Structure 1
Amino acid sequence: MNSAPERYPMPTWRKSISSTCTPADTTRRRAPVPPDQEVKLMIASIARKEFSEIVRDGRFKWTAGIMALLLLTALAAGYQKYSAYMDMQRLAQDQTNYQWFNQGDKNPHSGAHYGNYAFKPAGPLAFFDNGINNYAGTALFMEAHKQNFAIGRPATDQSSIGRFGDLSGAMILQLLMPLLIIFLGFTAFSGERESGTLRQVLSMGVSNRQLLWGKALGIGTAVVLVVGACVLIGGLALSLTGLHAEGESPGLRVALMAVSYLLYAAIFLFLTLAVSAWAKNARTALMVMVGFWAFVGFLAPKAAGEISRIVHPTPAFGQWMADMRAHQMRGIDGVPPFVRFEQESQAIFAQYGAETIAELPVYVGALRLQKFEEYDFPVFEEHYGRLRDSYINQRRLQDRLGVVAPTLPLRSLSMALAGTDLIRHIDFADAAEAYRRDMVTTINAYLGEAAASLNTAGGVLVADQEVFGIVPPFEFRSQGLGATLDEHGGNLIALALWLLAALGLALWAVRRLRVEED
């Protein structure tokens, strides 16, 4: 039997017993290793050799060092930004609640016009993936008769360089981790083919699959060594952020986030090994994988965004607002609000058993104000609903385009688990609108009961702090993790399918190795 090349020393369990052993000595021979155990030991031996050579390589040291530095910097910056934002959000919410309660003595409905602000809390893992937070707005003004958009987008205060992309842990793992895997693995097979050692390795009796699994395990261990240490530090930062204040336990979210990024890393690992086994030389393998990395990391997200906007366009804001205002004036089913209120007046009088305004037990002005609010509800729901459906359909189409780039489903899933995606922002806007309606309804109900005498006497009712205190402070509780998985479970499946495809491609590529070497 030929001796193994030095790159892959023959495992000790395969060494033959010395021919000088006496018959008595043969009784002490080691029991035969089961075939399945021998396969595992061979894979482990290949993995150890691959890992040790990677660690000794100077390219790994400086590449891993740069990535670790960037990842730690991103996590530290994200933690600092998250902490500062949460402190500011709590302070601003407390301050605006105080201003609502202490707005002074005035007519209750005027107090509803004075309004209040709702400030959006950061997502449970926003320090890792900031998602759309910089572009979706952080504060929403709630007032009578109007449903408003969120304002205060941090991106408007950034420079052009800052708007190019935030340095975040998610961005580092989505873009630089695949690049690290490519640099570590593009010579796995093509480099050995060029050096002539691949034929020798295969002649030892090492199967193609054993070689694939061993190299995958060795390279994967090196990547985990770099990323894992940084993630552990990030986990420590997570424990210091006080995320439970929002009523969400981040533990399961962190676990699902880790699974998502592990799937993503494994996709690039097996694709790199497949291309390395297929390519004639290392240069070709590197060019192919770097080109694929640039496509899925930069071109595909931009193209998916443009395609989604073409397929599901959104109206210009000015036209959209004009259409909604016209619908409000036109009224539900083409009946203007004033006309509709007159039509419903008889039913209102019958409800209270009154024949004249003086006999009504509630203030007719408050009834009119509340009815006009309710007339606007379906108008808001129709126009805001169509706009939101357009954005949701855009996002879902981008997810479906993940069949051409694994970065697309990962990015969407990462934002969802971090609580910084479009759905969470819509949940916040819906919660603020529900609070606004309750606030106005509560104030109008008080006005109707307390000002019944104004139906005949005239005058103005003045409310004080006690009256405004009947409206509770705004609190936002987002949907749980179950709702997130219902919406984004397909993205997790897409990553799993990508991994199966990459693994299948790698197995197909290494199956051709022996034929080519022969």
Structure 2
Amino acid sequence: MSPVCLIARDEWRALLRNRAGLLASGLLVLLVLVASFTSLERRAAIEADRERYQASVDEQFDQQPDRHPHRMVHYGQFVFRPIAPLAFFDTGVDSYTGNTIFLEGHRQNSANFAEARQSSLLMRFGQLTPAFVLQTLAPLLLIFLGFASISRERERGTLRLMAAQGVAARQVMLGKLLAHGVIALIIGLPAFLVLSGFAATGAAGWATVLPMIAGYAAWLLLWAVLSVVVSGLFHRSRDALAILIGVWMVGVILLPRVLPVMAEQRTQLDTNIETEIALHRKLADIGDSHDPEDPYFNDFREQVLDEYGVESIEDLPVQYAGLVSIEGERLTTGIYADSAARSSARENAQNALVHDFSIISPLIAIRQLSMTLAGSDLASHYDFLQQTEAFRYNFVQRLNRMQAELIPGIGGEDPRISAEYWQEIPRFHYQAPSPFSRPSDLIWPAAVLLGWLVALSALAAWASNRLERNLR
């Protein structure tokens, strides 16, 4: 057996004799399993509730009696965002962005009923998900397992004894890296098995699961390598532990919370009140589409009369008020879309600033990679908003066209069309985008993790050379 394998085997034996380390490792593995199964159960319950509520509101819409189409425009529809298959593993921003939108005419509503707003402060600190355990707690365990891997040998004098037997410092470093690299993968194995089982059942695709497993494997290996390298750079184990704990606190706890605050100060978002005031001012400038006599629509009236070749509104084959509603919806939709685009651009600028700092805090990189593959990132939320808005616009305009085309044939003071028309209106079906449709959201964090591993490998080579010189 090669010296590298012998050193790795000896390291495993030493760790097996460490009862505290075994207990902590067992608890972390148990925590990953508990988090996985509770998250799966919670996801199934929430998804069932949303499907039931969606079916209920769709049925209520279909059962509406004969009405004027514009009343149905204001009656509106509720739509619920389905949960992505891998969102049980990493809930991402889903708990903070809302999951329900009320679709109605003349207005673009935001998503409501975010779970974090209805939960305790303890829950807002971080939900117990497999991603949270692997991202935050697993590095701490790997630090406690690896901080004394080489410094312990130096303190006991066994490092010089191995050197006297012809074992090179490079072989010692490789043996320790091998030992703790295997341990890191074993710690992540329960989560990897859960993901693989989820893919094997067809609930998620292997094309998404395998990159997620690879990303977390790189993340865990990163901390295993870092622990061994720092242990080789310091003479005393307690110094190595202090440095590693400091790196963990800064990279995992401090920076991921400070950077969003910095981004918010650099690129500020308008408050809800400021946004509403600006929107109401712009909406007032375009007139009131509920009033066919509004001065803004004078030019529109002339265009309609010219288009149909008639002299007065009364001669139109369609209802002019319905045409005004169509035009008004087009204008208000443009205003809301412009406001939403500006807001999302600012939020993207904030996120870009945070992601740029993933070079010094790889936790940001693994979070971005994990959320993107799980379908719980901010881009997926934006996609849901865009699909719902496109559906809302078509839904409202279809009702407006019913008003314009069907009402003239009914007449009366309170004209209504048959309830059968409500049942012909399509229902909202969300099509989740592929995470690979946004390659930059995957390539950059993957490159950061790989870059850290390469840099730490180079540092390990330098540390082994330095260790070799010290042993001469």
- Give the TM-score normalised by structure 2: 0.94
Q: What SS is found at the alignment partner of 1:451?
A: helix
Q: 1:256 aligns with which of 187, 190, 211?
A: 211
**Cα offset, 1:375, TM superposition:** 0.9
Say whether 1:143 aligns with 2:104. Answer: yes
Structure 1 230/137 Cα, relative in aligned 2: closer, same or farther at 3 Å?
closer
Write out aligned runs for 1:145-224 (5 A): 145-224=106-185
Which sections of structure 1, spanning at least 5 residues, go unmatched? 1-10, 12-40, 244-248
Say whether 1:464 aligns with 2:425. Answer: no
**Cα offset, 1:140, TM superposition:** 0.3
Partner of 2:354: 398
Write out aligned runs for 1:268-307 (5 A): 268-307=223-262
**Cα offset, 1:237, TM superposition:** 5.4
Q: What SS is found at the alignment partner of 1:452?
A: helix
Partner of 2:331: 375
What is the letter of the counterpart of residue 468 of structure 1? W
Asked if structure 1 preserves the Cα contact closer than 8 Å seen for 2:199 and 2:209, the reply is: no
Q: 2:56 aligns with which of 95, 98, 102?
A: 95
**Cα offset, 1:185, TM superposition:** 1.2
Alignment partners' CA distance in 1, 2:35 and 2:409: 63
**Cα offset, 1:133, TM superposition:** 1.4
How many corresponding residue pairs? 468
Alignment partners' CA distance in 2, 1:353 and 1:176: 73
Say whether 1:55 aligns with 2:16. Answer: yes
Asked if structure 2 preserves the Cα contact closer than 8 Å seen for 1:125 and 1:250, the reply is: no
**Cα offset, 1:235, TM superposition:** 3.7
Asked if structure 2 preserves the Cα contact closer than 8 Å seen for 1:134 and 1:153, the reply is: yes
**Cα offset, 1:190, TM superposition:** 0.6
What is the letter of the counterpart of residue 512 of structure 1? R
Comparing 483-492 and 82-91, the one that deviates more: 483-492
Partner of 2:264: 309
**Cα offset, 1:453, TM superposition:** 4.0
**Cα offset, 1:381, TM superposition:** 1.5
Alignment partners' CA distance in 2, 1:423 and 1:510: 43
Query: Structure 1, residues 440-467: CA drift from partner, whole Å, max 9, x if none?
Result: 111111221112347xx55333133311
What is the letter of the counterpart of residue 439 of structure 2? L
**Cα offset, 1:496, TM superposition:** 1.3
Query: Runs of 4+ in structure 1 displaced over 6 angstroms?
Result: none
**Cα offset, 1:234, TM superposition:** 5.0
Query: Structure 1, residues 229-287: CA drift from partner, whole Å, max 9, x if none?
Result: 343145435656x73xxxxx432211111111111112212211111111111110011
**Cα offset, 1:52, TM superposition:** 3.0
Q: What SS is found at the alignment partner of 1:72?
A: helix
Structure 1 497/230 Cα, relative in aligned 2: closer, same or farther at 3 Å?
closer
Comparing 189-198 and 212-221, the one that deviates more: 212-221
Say whether 1:474 aligns with 2:435. Answer: no
Which sections of structure 2, spanning at least 5 residues, go unmatched? none
Alignment partners' CA distance in 2, 1:42 and 1:328: 76
Q: What SS is found at the alignment partner of 1:321?
A: helix
Say whether 1:513 aligns with 2:467. Answer: yes
**Cα offset, 1:43, TM superposition:** 2.6
Structure 1 266/199 Cα, relative in aligned 2: closer, same or farther at 3 Å?
same
Partner of 2:456: 502
Alignment partners' CA distance in 2, 1:314 and 1:288: 37
Partner of 2:407: 451
**Cα offset, 1:81, TM superposition:** 0.9
Q: What SS is found at the alignment partner of 2:67?
A: coil
Alignment partners' CA distance in 2, 1:50 and 1:180: 16
Percent identity of paired positions between Structure 1 and Structure 2: 28
Asked if structure 2 preserves the Cα contact closer than 8 Å seen for 1:363 and 1:453, the reply is: no
Alignment partners' CA distance in 2, 1:236 and 1:54: 30
Alignment partners' CA distance in 1, 2:384 and 2:187: 37
Partner of 1:387: 343
What is the letter of the counterpart of residue 470 of structure 2? E
Asked if structure 2 preserves the Cα contact closer than 8 Å seen for 1:75 and 1:234, the reply is: no
**Cα offset, 1:223, TM superposition:** 2.7
Alignment partners' CA distance in 2, 1:489 and 1:355: 62
Asked if structure 2 preserves the Cα contact closer than 8 Å seen for 1:130 and 1:420, the reply is: yes
